[in-house]
Amino acid sequence: MANYTKTTVDKENRIELHEKLSLTGAEISLNELPAGAGVPFVHAHKENEEIYGILAGNGKVVIDGEEINLTAGDWLKIAPVAKRQFFAASDSGITYICIQVKENSLEHFTAEDAVIG
């Protein structure tokens, strides 16, 4: 049995990789909003923080009532309890990745978690 899972994704507005890759420690989604569109709901989480990376385009996120402009290259972490909603700019779509992980669960990373050889 292989120690990896590979998938290829099609062009869709939202792709969740949890099932496609059999993820056990994170949820990752790829998201695209066309110009002028927004996520149709405000949401928060019980335990999971979210990390967002803006891959292309422009837009904004409203976090606990505060508007934050977003552009390609921006990254942000949002605490579980924060209420959030994403929007594309009126003249530009936005493409972003969302990585959802349990808050305070990271114990070792990078070289600390590596086994050489």
DSSP string, the chain: --S-------S-SEEEHHHHTT-SS-EEEEEEE-TT-B-SS-B--SSEEEEEEEEEEEEEEEETTEEEEEETT-EEEE-TTS-EEEEEBTTB-EEEEEEEEETT-----GGGG----
What predicted TM-score, i.e. pTM, was given to this entire model? Answer: 0.88
Q: Domain-by-domain residue ranges, the chain?
A: 25-103
pLDDT at 64 over 80: yes
Confidence tier at 34 by pLDDT (50, 70, 90) = very high
Q: What percent of the chain has pLDDT over 90?
A: 68
CATH numeric code, 25-103: 2.60.120.10
pLDDT tens readout for residues 78-109: 999 999 999 999 999 999 999 999 998 888 87
